[in-house]
Amino acid sequence: MTDRELEQRPDRKKLSAFLSRFRPSARRELNLTMTLSLVTGLLIILQAFLVARILNGVLFQKLPVAAFPVEIAALLGAIAARFLTVWATERFGFAAAGKVMRALRAELLDRVEKIGPVGLAETRTGEMVAALADGVRAVEPYYSRYIPASVLAVVLPLAIIVVVFPLDWLSGLVFLVTAPLIPVFMILIGKGAEALNQKQWRRLARMSGHLLDAVQGLATLKAFNAAGRMARQVASVADAYRRDTMAVLRVAFLSSLVLEFFATVSIALVAVFIGFRLLWGEMAFFEGLFILLLAPEFYAPLRAMGTAYHARMEAIGAAERMVAPDDLPALAETGGSTPLPHPERIEIRFEDVHLTFPDGRRALDGVSFTVAPGETVALVGPSGAGKSSLLHLLLGFVKPTSGRVLVNGVPLAELDLAQWRSRIGYVPQRPRLFAGTLASNIAPGEAAPDGERLRQAVAQAGLADVVAAVPGGLDGTLGEGGTGLSGGEAHRLAVARAFYRDAPMIVLDEPTAHLDHESEAQVEAALARLLPGRSGLIAAHRLASISSARRIVVLNHGRIAEEGAATALLAKGGLFARLASGDTELWEAAQ
């Protein structure tokens, strides 16, 4: 095995511990499942005993069937009870799996929330989606099939051996010697299958990410006439995944064949020994028939365990993807439970804020300034100066390495973040639009948006012409990513969201970047109606977008280079004046 393969080899103990960690969430159902498996095993032994007793009496004692009313009634009861216990075992197994899947999905989503948008920026979305969707579903057979099968595979053979040994030590010895062969070969074959299963899951994650990247970049691919090449790459990855899946299935079928072979040979061996001793008169018919009836039942749970073992391997393969977020740093602010005081007016204060990312990159270095209630402050500086980092701190997407961010005098780390974010109108550089109606995109998360507020938001954002052009108006549908809208229209829709929320704090992250001059002017006009009377913090790329700002904070290398009104900063002739001059060389030199 190469060093690279050793590095990629999953820690099975860690992955098994990860899966077992969720057992407490379904402890009642799992305990019932294991108890019912035990009862099923005892019923199987009772059923074999009753059948042997009735047949022995009818065939050798020449008694009529009517002479066994109690045994027949008990047999029918055992069969019915066995049916019910098997049904209940599956039912509680699926119930346990459902609870575990909910707990697992909740923990993964909680982990993703703690990592935050900044921490997830370098993660391929497709791989994360594969872990949250396909990965969580792959855990279901582990709890619904593997755990009940593993309990029955231990309980029933042990109970049968305890019953058989006093009746016939030779048959008991055959059981004892041959029983380990099935799990041994299951483990030997399972090792190869597990490695293939891990490879299959890694291939699925890569394929998911590759396909999502291709779909998201389809417009660019078409523009550069590269769609055909990307389609071939996706097809190649999909074909590799098909080959990996078939390899796993081949090993699964092989393991089933091997397990069936050893179980069949073992049963035949028991039958031969019993048959000869019955022929020689060394064993009573009742004991021989009873043991023969138990022989298939002895190996049945071991064979079933071989099949269920693949459910465990699939869950282990999925767990490798699901534990991946644990390696990502938890950058997001978790907040507290303190309610926001005076939520109708917002004051922001950054106090000696430092922000250093886990890779050592320093984004902010001792930044301190205040946004007064109703004041609009613009953040200006070269790319990488720390503008977006300050916005991310304010939104709770990342927490400071040191220093504090205070909202109305309360540290952000102590605030109820859900309440705080509900008081923010956020317009990002690239608004995220969803497949759905215009109304649901303007009021995301609301089941029944207020019609009058929607119409007012549309009018104030200058979006009335767009709504009129969409069939169905506000009830008309958009495609994923806002398909059907131009860049400027998508930005105005994001401004309409802020108007609809009517939040006292507005956060703008380069809202006119990537827009042409006409679209920029329309967005700027909408923002000019939005900002008055509200506190605002704008990260500006184009200096034209800071016209509504009363104060400008100029950043460079994570520090405040200068601060003040635009006219004063221009007269000072510092970094802001150089940036405003539009001199590309000076802009690059400032970086």
Range of the domain at 550: 348-590
**Is there a domain that residue 462 lies in?**
yes
Q: Which among 260, 293, 327 is the end of a domain?
A: 327
Same domain, 454 and 498: yes
Residue 500 to residue 578: CA distance in whole angstroms: 38
Same domain, 277 and 201: yes
Residue 470 to residue 458: CA distance in whole angstroms: 13
**Is there a domain that residue 189 lies in?**
yes
Same domain, 442 and 574: yes
Same domain, 124 and 37: yes
Residue 349 to residue 282: CA distance in whole angstroms: 95
Q: Is 94 exposed, middle or buried (0-12, 13-18, 19+ CB in 10 A)?
A: middle
**Is there a domain that residue 339 lies in?**
no
Residue 167 to residue 287: CA distance in whole angstroms: 7
| Residue owning tokens 């993964």 | 108
Residue 240 to residue 312: CA distance in whole angstroms: 23
**Is there a domain that residue 332 lies in?**
no
C-alpha distances in Å from residue 193, one per residue of 137, 246, 250, 310: 20, 11, 9, 8
In degrees, rounded to 5, the angle at the alpha carbon of residue 110 between the alpha carbons of residues 389 and 494 is 50
Same domain, 456 and 311: no
Whether 259 contacts 302, CB under 8 Å = yes
Give the residue among 495, 536, 546, 551 at the shortest CA–CA distance from 345: 536
Residue 404 to residue 39: CA distance in whole angstroms: 61
Q: What is the pLDDT along the chain (591 residues), one digit of tens a residue?
A: 344 443 444 566 777 777 777 888 888 888 888 888 888 888 888 988 888 888 888 887 788 888 888 988 999 999 999 899 989 988 888 888 888 888 888 888 888 888 877 777 666 666 666 666 667 777 788 888 788 888 878 888 888 888 888 888 888 888 888 777 766 666 665 555 556 555 665 666 666 666 666 666 666 666 667 677 777 777 777 777 777 777 666 666 666 666 677 777 778 888 888 888 877 878 888 888 888 888 888 887 777 776 677 677 777 767 777 777 777 777 888 888 889 888 888 999 999 999 988 888 888 888 999 999 989 898 988 888 888 889 999 988 888 989 999 999 899 989 998 889 888 888 887 788 787 788 888 888 777 788 888 888 888 888 888 788 877 777 777 777 666 677 777 878 888 888 888 889 989 887 776 667 777 777 788 888 888 888 989 887 666 667 677 888 989 888 998 888 888 888 888 888 887 776 443 334 333
Same domain, 455 and 531: yes
Residue 469 to residue 467: CA distance in whole angstroms: 5
Residue 347 to residue 412: CA distance in whole angstroms: 12
C-alpha distances in Å from residue 217, one per residue of 122, 223, 226: 16, 10, 10
Domain count, the chain: 2
**CATH code, 307:** 1.20.1560.10
Same domain, 321 and 238: yes
Residue 282 to residue 63: CA distance in whole angstroms: 23
Same domain, 279 and 370: no
Residue 127 to residue 320: CA distance in whole angstroms: 12
Same domain, 360 and 323: no
**Is there a domain that residue 284 lies in?**
yes
Q: Which among 278, 298, 327 is the end of a domain?
A: 327
**CATH code, 491:** 3.40.50.300
Q: Can you tell me whether residue 380 is helix, strand or coil?
A: strand
Give the residue among 191, 201, 174, 216 at the shortest CA–CA distance from 480: 216
| Residue 68 phi, psi dihedral angles, 5° rounding | -125, 55
Q: Can you tell me whether residue 192 is helix, strand or coil?
A: helix
Same domain, 276 and 388: no
pLDDT at residue 589, as a whole number: 36
Residue 173 to residue 196: CA distance in whole angstroms: 36
Element (H, E) at 509: strand 505-509
Residue 72 to residue 53: CA distance in whole angstroms: 10
Same domain, 366 and 514: yes
Residue 245 to residue 314: CA distance in whole angstroms: 11
**Is there a domain that residue 145 lies in?**
yes
**Is there a domain that residue 338 lies in?**
no
pLDDT at residue 256, as a whole number: 65
Element (H, E) at 554: strand 551-556
**Is there a domain that residue 155 lies in?**
yes
Same domain, 305 and 364: no
Residue 197 to residue 24: CA distance in whole angstroms: 27
Residue 271 to residue 291: CA distance in whole angstroms: 9
Q: How many C-beta atoms surround the C-beta of residue 360 within 10 A?
A: 6
Q: Can you tell me whether residue 460 is helix, strand or coil?
A: helix
